[in-house]
Amino acid sequence: MEAVDGEEKEDDDYDLSVVDDDDVSDDDDDDDDGGGEDDSDDGGDEIDAAMQDSDDGGGEIDEAMQDSDDGEDEIDEAMQDSDDNVEIEDDAEEDYASDDKEDGEDADGGGEWEDIYGRKRSRDGAILNDNAASGTGGANAATSGGGGKYIPPALRNTAASSNKKKELERLAKQVKGNLNRLAESNMHSIASQIEGLYGNNSRNDMNATLWTLVSAAVVGPSLTPERLVTEYTMLVAILHANIGSEVGAHFLEEIVKQFNSIYSSTNLAADSDKKMDNLVLLLAYHFNFKIVSSALMFDLMNKMADSFTTKDIELILIALRSCGFSLRKEDPVGMKNLILRIKNAATAQQDGENSTRVQFMLDILMAVKNNNVNKIPNYDPSHFDHLKKTLKSFIREGKFVTELKIGLKDIEEAETRGRWWIVGSFFAGNLVGEKRGAEAAPTTTENTHEFSEKLMRMARKMRMNTDSRKNIFCLIMSSEDYIDATMRLTKLGTKNQTEREVMFVLLECSLKEANFNPFYSQVAIKLSSLDRRYKIANQFSLWDKLKQSAGLKEVQLNHLAKFISHLVREKSQSISVLRIIEFAEMTKPNVKLLRTVLCDVLLLEKEEDVRTIFQGVAGVENLKLFREGLRLFLRHFLLKQKNKLDPSINFQALENRVKSAELYLTSPGSSLKL
């Protein structure tokens, strides 16, 4: 309203000034026509007053215009505020509309929500079906990270596959660089580098990569040199011992798979490819390095003997030349059955084309059967024997090559039944309720009744209180001679301290005999010559029994003395095995035992043997007290108490041997004066 009044006032002022000017002009005209001088002065005063009023009106007009501009600014601000209020009201209306819409959807959809795993749930917490909840867009929402079904972490990163491929390519380059330089001279360094790769990468990736590269180098269309196969297999044996048995198990499984694949898809009668030959050669050296037992080789050769085509004959020849003598040594019964099977197949074979090959294979079989190395052409195991000796130096302390006792059927059914030979692997063969459980029952019964009931009664009577000792006892008692017993016992291996159980049973059986039987001590001697662990176990067994000498009967004490003297005379044990006896606190049982042992040793036919036995402990500083106690016993309990000796002993010869023994036992550090 102030702005409007200002405009009206401005118009009135302008009209007033116009009227005054006209009046002034009229008055001037009047003065010119005849008006007086006073009138002229009064008119000038009026003009001056009018001009003053005009100037005052102009100031008021300027103030009115300024007020008008201020009023316009206020109107613009009011209009802006009005527009803002309109926008706020529009936004509020939209929010209210969206809230009403969501309330309507909640009322219709039942209040769906999403949990921390990305699953949609209803108001009461029940999991909704993805198709019903998200329709056709559920899959897209799941893959895009929105609300959908839960995706496992292994499937989330699709880009991880390309990175994995690059890592495997890099790993293959590293392993291939080491394999290309593989030789006997740098075997240790390359094995150490590959062990380092096993520590930095997945074992599954390493096994797969190593097998891929080795098979590419060895399994080719042409026959691979035997030396190359031997060195590659030696590397596998080192990794099998230092890394774990899953390395050798993976190689065996891949060899059998590839062999079966080629064997079933090839015309064996006209095949000239050498891939199967290389696979059989590789498998044979896995057996030679004790990665796998003889069961797998016999199963494979029996399979080929049943087919007995041209290619089968060639493959059997390769296996026999590579590991025939080792197979005969480990399992002579299996070798005998294989020879009979091959002979029957050769008799039924009427093909004249293969007659020469069959005859050559039979000659090789007879050479293996008779252990005649010279009958096999170009047979030179010296390189392999050298590698097998050096293998022990490449294996870390406390590690050893674990022999996998698996057969061909075990590997062929590994995908369905599992791999029982790998620690922690799945195996479905012994699940409760499985059909195989009923099928395996007869086998268990057969194993239980493998030995006669008479032997089992004897084992219980001998107080063989564990299944292991019962089995060892029955193996010993059912053997034909000490060689047969030794071969049977060596097949038990030396795991879980089996060698201690073997020596315990041998000594117990010897002591329980009515008369001393050197059979048991001879088996102990033979086993000790094959493996040092048997020798150590035999020593511990003797010490345990010597500590219990006070509780032994006289017959048992005599048998123990003869058992020990037999071992000492055959140099299986040193005379120092008696150091467990305290010479300062001599008991009657120990005197009787020592008297029997020393008389048997001193009265050997050759004095050279006596010198060797006693000089064996002469230069050992730790045995100084034992030497002095032994010299005291020889002089006091043998020579001075000759009336307690066996009357059949030649005392004069014994006296001479005692003097010789004292000389052999004399050492510069001895302070004993007799």
**Among candidates 238, 260, 203, 212, which has minimal Cα distance to 422?**
203
**pLDDT (mean) for 321-335:** 88
Contacts of 384 (CB under 8 A, 6+ apart): 230, 285, 288
Please state the three-class secondary structure of 465-478 as a single string: CCHHHHHHHHHHHC
pLDDT band at 15 (very low <50, low <70, confident <90, very high): very low
CA distances from 506 to 78, 476, 479, 561 (A): 118, 8, 13, 14
Tell me, what's the pLDDT at 9? 40
The enclosing H or E element of 120 equals strand 120-121
Taking 3-state DSSP, the helix, strand and coil percentages for the chain, each rounded to the nearest 5, stand at 75, 0, 25
d(CA 64, CA 442): 124
* pLDDT tens digits, one per residue of 231-281: 999 999 999 999 999 999 999 999 999 999 998 888 776 667 889 999 999
Q: For residue 289, with 0-12 CB atoms within 10 Å meaning exposed, 13-18 middle and 19 or more buried, which class applies? A: buried
User: What tokens does 390 get?
Assistant: 């050096």
Q: What are phi and psi of 617, to 5 degrees?
A: -115, 10
The pLDDT value recorded for residue 188 is 92
Closest CA to 499 of 531, 537, 468, 528: 537
Q: Specify the higher pLDDT residue, 208 or 17.
A: 208
Kindly report the backbone phi and psi dihedral angles of residue 273, in degrees, each rounded to the nearest multiple of 5, phi listed first.
-75, 145
665, 618 in Cβ contact below 8 A?
Answer: yes
Closest alpha carbon to 597 in 584, 615, 579: 579
pLDDT of residue 75: 47
Q: Which residue has the higher pLDDT, 441 or 95?
A: 95
CA distance 415 to 46: 130
Nearest to 179 by CA among 115, 233, 100, 128: 233
Mean pLDDT computed over 95-118: 56
Tens-place pLDDT, residues 337-349 = 888 888 888 887 7
286 by DSSP, 3-state: which?
A: helix
DSSP alpha helix (H) spans, 496-553: 498-512, 518-530, 532-547
Rg value, the chain, Cα: 54
Cβ neighbours of 187 (radius 10 Å): 19
Query: pLDDT at position 149, please?
Result: 64
Note the pLDDT tens digit of each residue in 442-453.
333 333 335 778
Between the ranges 89-103, 192-206, 647-661, where is the mean pLDDT highest?
Answer: 192-206
What ranges do the domains of the chain cover? Answer: 2-105, 166-417, 468-665
468-665: CATH, from 1.20.1050.10, 1.25.40.180, 3.30.70.980, 3.20.10.10: 1.25.40.180
Planar angle of CA 202, 496, 289, nearest 5 degrees: 55
Alpha carbon distance 367, 324 (integer Å): 9
d(CA 254, CA 159): 30
Mean pLDDT is lowest, of 102-106, 208-212, 515-519, for 102-106
Instruction: Kindly state the DSSP code that residue 585 receives in the 8-state scheme.
Output: G
Of the spans 58-62, 82-86, 342-346, 351-355, which averages the highest pLDDT? 342-346
- Sign of the dihedral through C-alpha 550, 552, 558, 562: negative
Kindly report each contact of residues 605-610 with a partner whose C-beta sits within 8 Å and lies 24 or more positions away, as own/partner: 607/657, 607/660, 609/569, 610/657, 610/660, 610/661, 610/664
Least confident of 292-296, 552-556, 660-664: 660-664
- Looking at this protein, which amino acid is placed at residue 328? R
User: Residue 159 corresponds to which tokens in the numbers above?
Assistant: 């880009």
Residue 416 pLDDT > 90: no
Name the nearest CA neighbour of 292 among 260, 250, 263: 250
| Cα gap 601→614, rounded to integer Å | 10
* C-alpha to C-alpha distance for 515 and 85, rounded to whole angstroms: 123
pLDDT at 205: 92
Q: At residue 130, does pLDDT exceed 60?
A: no
CB contact at 8 A, 670 and 627: yes
Task: Provide the total of helices (H) and of strands (E) in the chain, helices listed first.
Answer: 30, 2
Tokens of 120: 């949609």
Decide if 321 contacts 303 (C-beta within 8 A): no
pLDDT higher than threshold 70 for residue 29: no
Q: Are 601 and 575 in contact (CB under 8 A)?
A: yes
Least confident segment among 39-48, 267-276, 486-495, 617-626: 39-48
pTM above 0.75, yes or no: no
Structure confidence at residue 560 as a pLDDT band (50, 70, 90): very high
Report the amino acid identity of residue 332: P
Residue-wise pLDDT tens digits, 498-533: 889 999 999 999 999 989 999 999 999 999 988 888
Type of residue found at 232: Y
The SS3 call for residue 627 is helix
CB contact set of 452 (below 8 Å; sequence gap of 6+): none
CB atoms within 10 A of CB 128: 17
- Reply yes or no on domain 166-417 having CATH 3.20.20.70: no
d(CA 196, CA 206): 11
Instruction: Tell me the residue length of the chain.
Output: 674
Q: Which of 557, 563, 499 is nearest to 532 (CA)?
A: 499
Q: What is the pLDDT of residues 476-487, one digit of tens each?
A: 988 888 888 888
Measured in whole angstroms, how far is the alpha carbon of residue 494 from the centre of its chain? 22
In angstroms, what CA-CA distances link 340 with 44, 280, 349, 591, 603? 164, 21, 14, 57, 50
Give whole-number Cα distances, 92 to 44, 105, 533, in Å.
71, 20, 93
Q: Is the pLDDT of residue 606 over 80?
A: yes
- Other Cβ atoms less than 10 A from the Cβ of 616: the count is 16
pLDDT of residue 429: 57
What rounded mean pLDDT belongs to the chain? 77
- Residue 267: the pLDDT is 77
**Percentage of residues of the chain with pLDDT beyond 90:** 26
Same fold, 166-417 and 468-665: yes
Burial (CB < 10 A; 0-12, 13-18, 19+), residue 505, is buried
The secondary element (H helix, E strand) that includes residue 114 is strand 113-114
| CA proximity to 361, closest of 390, 329, 331, 319 | 319
Q: How confident is the model at residue 39 (pLDDT cuts 50, 70, 90)?
A: very low
